[in-house]
A and B are shown apart, each in its own frame.
Chain A
């Protein structure tokens, strides 16, 4: 599904990713953990295609095809979805309007017919039911005045509706209380499927109690420095990231 080869990324001349390799197969859930500043969020943004980052080496293959030259919208239409760490407010634009615009833009890009309003509303209802979420949120302007928990839930709802092939969750657990964490995790789990891969970026092992990963990677100074099974997360929780600081140098 996703193959990252020797990826080097800079922002304003500062090296952030220094030869990152990562491979995620179809249906797999991988977690990336690591200390602050190790480049986790950069990786998420680069995958989604944010402008400010300059890829100076390596490649990102999505379903065997390099996506480096693709616009964010093109990547989205191919099935890449980033759940933002800090979802952005768009005043005056109702959630429904936003979702419909996004869904139809993606469908158009894939050469599919636009959804009719009744079909769209049916899908939204299904997605909301799946995630046990209240659709009322979607009548309000996108993320405007939302609590931290609402914003994250809104991200997962978008994910459920857009049905991506690759879900990237950038610190989706930050700012969530225990109940919200559970709801969001259940949502993510409900979306697990053999045709969908997930990359979970987090600081804390806690999230991985709910979303159980197939693999855990430790990231430090712009590289994956260790890979293991889900038990690696527990070890990190116990010992911290101090062991990996040396590798960074």
Chain B
């Protein structure tokens, strides 16, 4: 877990004198009142010491949100969400946690062990008292400015919390915030715009290759607190950055709404690689209590020859509603989407991507691997479009689904719209089941049921795993195996 380890180490360091770094100082404060109103939006903005323009931006979003409706087109079902029954802001609090690992759910500990998480980190993840203060600093809505600040500074890379960026780099934030995902884009994105808590801000200046992978690590750990992260990454002309989001460790929680927005902007000749491993609590064996994950992620290839690449490994959440997309506006720009979505138990996944070809000779590539087990439903939903000026646009889409057992479902819903006759779009899709023969073959060589499934599944997702940074890929592979435990036999 390099991503986690870095963060944890950092937090340990800064824990001693966190004020020195100019983090939010008023951490003793309580939650905003339950529910959403203009007052709550003002409360959030004030807590964060935001300038007027930011408050106005939020209020505008809030008023527009009031006129919007929840989208219902996705192949997911869940009880109606009462948006007035949610807390929209919470600073770190000090509710008592377990005193030691002995008090933590043994099943959770077993999973940590399988994932190879070091003991110290297990304590932190499980919220054991004592490790608590450090945890709060990272894991709650108020995010902490992250790693390697000095080295990044040398390279001229800005990497900080969104709150800090709003204060220190208002010009960049005003220019790009909402430029890829407009305030009114969709119900959840608008909600996020009104109440976003915090998130990451990255700016890589012209011609700079970011010297390290950037990573953050979020956790939802307040009961009934909606989480509304907001991330903005800008790669200026000729810049390169690779960003890792998420964590392989499973997170226990109650039903929670999560509606993040991620915006990427790549200018001329710039490249952004964004990798996610998502493993939020998927709910218990009967499907109760998992995280609802309604995310809007979009990248704009604004300049010629720019490139944006999304790679995601999704194993968690009760409901996943997520379509990391690329707008290919610059000529010769490239968009990529590599996805592994694993669902088990009663999880519902409706995920995919959109590739909008606007510029000439734009190219996109979609490789999606869905794995459904248990009673889960796993839908790939993708949109590929070419507008009139997108001469020479090319897309290649490959969607493979793997079924484990008889009670799950896999669905592939590709939409293709082309308004330019020179555009060439290819779509391939397969659905297969893990064959009894394959399982028996592996088992006759000494593998257990679970090892056999893990091996076959890892073969199935290999193309996508190869896209992840090396260490992340190893973690992801383990995570997929653990997620599918108990799916056969």
Contacts and interface: CB of A to CB of B under 8 A. Distances in A.
A60 to B, nearest CB: 15
A88 B444 CA distance: 12
B169 interface: no
A109 interface: yes
A9 to B, nearest CB: 16
Contact of B458 (A82, A84, A93): A93
Contacts of B446: 73, 76-77, 102-103, 105-106, 109, 162
B441 A105 contact: no
A51 B446 CA distance: 15
B455 A88 contact: no
B480 to A, nearest CB: 13
Q: How large is the interface on B (under 10, 10 to 19, 20 to 34, 35 or more residues)?
A: 20 to 34
B443 A98 contact: no
B447 A91 contact: no
Contact of B435 (A48, A50, A88, A158): A88
Interface in A54-71: 71
Nearest to A168: B444
A141 interface: yes
A158 B445 contact: yes
Given A93-B455, A93-B458, A105-B451, A84 B441 contact: yes
A77 B447 CA distance: 9
B441 A162 contact: no
A34 interface: no
Contact of B436 (A51, A91, A106, A162): A51
Interface in B442-459: 442-448, 451, 455-456, 458-459
Interface of A: 48-52, 71-73, 75-77, 81-82, 84, 87-93, 97-98, 101-103, 105-106, 109, 141, 158, 162
Interface of B: 435-438, 440-448, 451, 455-456, 458-463
Given A93-B456, A98-B445, A98-B455, 10 more contacts: A49-B443, A50-B444, A72-B440, A76-B446, A92-B459, A93-B459, A98-B442, A109-B446, A141-B459, A162-B445
23 contacts: A49-B444, A50-B440, A51-B440, A73-B443, A73-B447, A76-B444, A76-B446, A77-B446, A84-B444, A88-B437, A90-B438, A90-B442, A90-B459, A92-B458, A92-B463, A93-B456, A101-B447, A102-B446, A105-B447, A105-B451, A106-B445, A162-B445, A162-B446
